[in-house]
Amino acid sequence: MKKILSATFVLFVLFDADLLAINIYVSNNGDDSPSLTRGEYTDPVKTLKGAYDLIPNPLTESCNIILKNDGGPILVAPSPEAGILWTKSGSAIYPILVTSESCYSTLTRSSESPTKMVKILHANFVSFSYINFTNCIQGAFELSNADYCRIEYCTFSGIGTVAPQSTGIIWIGHNSENPSSDSSSAYNYINDNYFYQLLVNPLDTIRKLHQTIYVSVQAKFNQIYNNTIVDPPAYSIQYHHDDITNNQSSYNILIQNIGNGSGSKALSLSCENSEDINTIENNNLTTNYIHDNQDPVNFKSRFTF
């Protein structure tokens, strides 16, 4: 009898723990206007911004934002807004996850914009997985003083050719709102993503500043691996500026097919002349596969260290 009671108690505890999660549903058929049932499966919100507004702050349970596939692409924010500022944190015990209900839902915006689709500012333990991001050539994510975040198993592409910007499709670094502060982005994972159709025009010198993944000042202990990048805007992965330590970029597939001269590089690690190169240390950029089908004369210029 005691054994049966013990087993029953364990099953109850496990079931009860599973209930400690908030599920917020998003559909293009949804509605962001207030209602008592807003965000439930049968009454979803319409945009990622609408779901974000429903996340309690602080969290006392895990939170899942689930993108449904029943109404077409989902806007990151109501038009004409091009992005969302994300300042709500999860925790190691109660993380925040944004994912698709089944297969891959599409998260987009009405047009390309230099505004990042999702700017995670001074927030931790936020993850995005199994999502198609479109209209994001000029910026999908900025991890700005963000720790323990994950972007994984997603795809990133644009629709048509856009003007080049000084930016990254995914940018990792310090607090861009307060650059002088000690505000590193650390222990983030960018893995198993697919980047394609990332064309910019004209192919001028500013193109050299347009990266797929940009690892910037105060990026520390971040992991970038198992990503496939096909024909980046310019750099596939660039580490630039000082105070960049203990990051790893490995097992990525970087494919450079378009002949854009020295303006296009697979891997780059550099800093400005005024910066302290000695603060760029213990970064691992090994074991990457690079296919370069461009001008062989410029092949060595694809790698800058």
Query: What pLDDT digit, counting tens, does each position of 12-57 carry?
Result: 443 343 457 899 999 999 999 877 678 999 999 999 999 999 999 9
Q: Given this model, what pLDDT does residue 175 score?
A: 76
Q: Which CATH superfamily is domain 111-304 in?
A: Single-stranded right-handed beta-helix, Pectin lyase-like (2.160.20.10)
Cis peptide before 202 (omega within 30 of 0): yes
Distance CA 217, CA 214 (A): 10
Residues 121, 87, 95, 170: what is their CA dihedral angle, to the nearest 10 degrees?
-30
187: left (phi over 0), alpha (psi -120 to 50) or beta: left
- For residue 162, give the 3-state DSSP assignment: strand
Residue 33, both tokens: 């206007």
Is 60 exceeded by the pLDDT of residue 304? no
Query: What pLDDT digit, counting tens, does each position of 84-142 carry?
Result: 999 999 999 999 999 999 889 999 998 888 899 999 999 999 999 999 999 999 899 99
Is 80 exceeded by the pLDDT of residue 206? no
Tell me which H or E stretch contains 229.
strand 228-230
How many Cβ atoms are within 10 Å of 163's Cβ, its own excluded? 13
Kindly report whether the global pTM for this prediction surpasses the value 0.85.
Answer: yes
Q: Which residues pair with 86 in a beta bridge?
A: 120
DSSP letter, residue 241? S
